[in-house]
Amino acid sequence: MKPGSVIIDLAASTGGNCEVTRNDETIVHHGIRIIGNSLLPVDMPTDASKMFGKNVINFLKLMISAKGEFNLNWDDDIVKGTCVTFNREIVHERIKSVINT
């Protein structure tokens, strides 16, 4: 990982998923911040978590049919506005304009 990256290791209390994780500590290892907070989910408000989950499901429903087929509806403002690349091309107009300047 590049320096400046952040790892939040939710399994810190059981040894963690990163070999240098320390439970209940935040460390910097080779420029990477590793947060060993296995109690982080407990600190999150339940309603915010439910709302986020519902938003993710509704977003995915815009792109996946009832049969499980991937389908991008380019007429949908949300799909069009959140898609950055498609078929190896940049399709997001704002990003295109920044890269091409």
- Answer whether residue 46 shows pLDDT above 90: no
Confidence band, pLDDT 50/70/90 cuts, at residue 41: confident
Measure the N-to-C terminal CA separation of the chain; round to a whole number of Å.
Answer: 29
Instruction: Assess contact for 71 and 42: CB atoms under 8 A.
Output: no
Check: pTM over 0.85? Answer yes or no. Answer: no
pLDDT tens-digit profile of 8-26? 998 998 989 999 999 999 9
Determine the Cα–Cα distance for residues 99 and 38; give it in Å rounded to an integer: 39
- For CA atoms 48, 17, 24, 32, the dihedral sign is negative
What's the residue count for the chain? Answer: 101
pLDDT at 44 over 80: no
Give the residue-averaged pLDDT of 76-89: 92
Instruction: Please state, in angstroms and rounded to a whole number, the distance separating the CA atoms of residues 39 and 96.
Output: 41
